[in-house]
Amino acid sequence: MAADKVDPIHQFHINKLIPIEIGGYDLSFTNSALFMVATVVVAAAFLFLTTSSRSLVPGRLQSVSEMAYEFVGNMLRDAAGTQGMKFFPFVFSLFMFVLVANLLGLFPYFFTVTSHIIVTFGLAALVIGTVVVYGFMKHGLGFLKLFVPHGVPVFLLPLVVLIEVISFVSRPVSLSVRLFANMLAGHITLKVFSGFVVSLSALGAVGVAGSILPLAMAVALTALELLVAFLQAYVFAVLTCMYLNDALHPGH
Amino acid sequence: MFVTSAFAQESAPSADTSHAATGGDTHSGTSVPAEAHGTFPPFNPETFPSQLLWLAITFGLFYLFLKRVVMPRVGGIIDVRNDRISQDLDQAAKLKGEADAAVAAYEQELAEAKKNANSIGQQANDAAKAEAETARKKIEAALDAKLGEAEARIASIKANAMKEVGSIAEDTASAIVEALVGGKASKAEIAAAVKSVAR
């Protein structure tokens, strides 16, 4: 049990709560799924309940919902213009989902949905899939102009196109790894420092005195992780907006 | 991270045995199959299908709920507020225009009234002056007339008195002459004498 407490990887384990298996695939309802549901319920309930009074002069909580709405709306309008607003529900859902998942993960004993690469990759693939599908639907083969920047000398063109294609293909990877790695590293660091506190304080008075420093670090890291939770949700949403802008206006 | 993951692998079996002993921990107890312990949990492909499925279900429902319910509502609240604000601003601008017009009208009326007041005052002043002038002239004339009358009366009284003084002097002189000389002096002589003395 003591080893369990200081194992920094333990928090990322997936446990089956309701085992489900269909067609040879393990589709169990796990703690990860539970926290996805919790994320969705918390975010949806917050947005729904705080705006239920529809006050002309908003209270604090209604202001928070409106600020989130306008924040994402302005972000999308700045990056992708007015045409981009058709993706507003999508970007807003992404932002709220990632933000609430990150914030819920900060609670002790809670599972962090975004610390699993498959989840962040799923979201990133959804973004890039939307970009590709919408890009080809709207512009047809003209969408491929995305890979051919204007004003490049002809002899450089093959090289530039290659670079552009690589940069496009690496987008879902960078988008998902950025969020996943930030959450993973942050939670491991938090757990390591907290583990020091537990292990040291078991050593008696000297150990308790010595555990003050890692405890302070854990407190400071929690504040940092709170910032990272917001920042990564913001970065994810901003990059989504920029990629959607490419789908809307493929010519550079 | 390398250190910690190595540590994790070392400690994993003991964690497992402890769980086996306690029969599953409450908070995040592991019932992970033994073969999964070798891999780092986020990279364990066995969990991928279930996570993707539940992500699709939860995120899909979340997206639909936000799109259908939350966003029209929040957008509606903000639109109503913006409408209300612009409406209020319009009304304020209209009221300000009205107030400005009223102030301008008032200023104009005030200026006219001032002008009128000045002219009325001037007229009244002039009229009063003229009236005072005529009254003064009338009074002066009346006073002059009275003065002349009085002077005339004084002159006539004085003349009468002087006339009587002459005759009294003559009578007195003739009486004195009679008494002293005992003869009668002629009236003409006495009159001449009196005249020369009286001069």
pLDDT tens digit sequence for A56-101: 888 899 999 999 999 999 999 999 989 989 999 999 999 999 999 9
The single-letter DSSP state of residue A148 is: S
Q: How far apart are CA B192 and CA B174, in angstroms?
A: 12
Whether B53 is in a domain gets the answer no
Whether B147 is in a domain gets the answer no
Question: Is the pLDDT assigned to residue A121 strictly greater than 90?
Answer: yes
A29 contact residues in B (CB cutoff 8 A): 50, 54
pLDDT at site A252: 58
Report the range of poorest mean pLDDT among A150-154, B167-171, B181-185, B192-196: B181-185
Residue among A13, A62, A90 minimizing CB distance to B41: A13
Domain count, chain A: 1
**B-contacting residues in A 55-84 (Cβ below 8 Å):** 55-56, 58, 62, 65-66, 69-70
Whether B12 is in a domain gets the answer no
CB contact under 8 A, A116 and B47: yes
Q: H-helix or E-strand containing A17?
A: strand A16-18
- Average pLDDT along chain B: 80
Question: What is the value of ipTM here, to two decimals?
Answer: 0.89
Give the three-state DSSP class for A249: coil
Return the residue in B26, B70, B81, B87 with the most chain A beta carbons within 10 A, the one to mutate for interface testing.
B70
Q: How far apart are CA A116 and CA B42, in angstroms?
A: 5
Return the residue in A13, A21, A39, A56 with the most chain B beta carbons within 10 A, the one to mutate for interface testing.
A13
Whether B187 is in a domain gets the answer yes
pLDDT tens digit sequence for B82-121: 999 999 999 999 999 999 999 999 999 999 999 999 999 9
A36 contact residues in B (CB cutoff 8 A): 54-55, 58-59
Whether B13 is in a domain gets the answer no
CA-nearest residue to A26 within chain B is: B50
Residue among A10, A26, A40 minimizing CB distance to B50: A26
Question: Taking chain A, what is the end-to-end CA distance rounded to the nearest angstrom?
Answer: 57
Domain count, chain B: 1
Which residues make beta-bridge pairs with A21? A26
> Sorting pLDDT into bands at 50, 70 and 90, what band is B7?
very low
Q: Which domain holds residue B187?
A: 162-198
Compute how many other C-beta atoms are within 10 angstroms of the C-beta atom of residue B119: 10
How many angstroms away from the CA of B92 is the closest CA of chain A?
Answer: 19
List the Cα angle B101/B102/B104 in 5-degree steps: 65
B70 contact residues in A (CB cutoff 8 A): 44, 47-48, 51
- Comparing A216 with A203, the larger pLDDT belongs to A216
Whether B180 is in a domain gets the answer yes
Whether B178 is in a domain gets the answer yes
pLDDT tens digit sequence for A3-40: 455 677 888 888 888 888 888 888 889 999 999 999 99
Q: How far is CA A56 from CA A71, B79, B112, in A?
A: 19, 10, 48
CB contact under 8 A, A26 and B47: yes
CA-nearest residue to A186 within chain B is: B1
Q: Which domain holds residue A16?
A: 2-248
CA-nearest residue to A125 within chain B is: B52
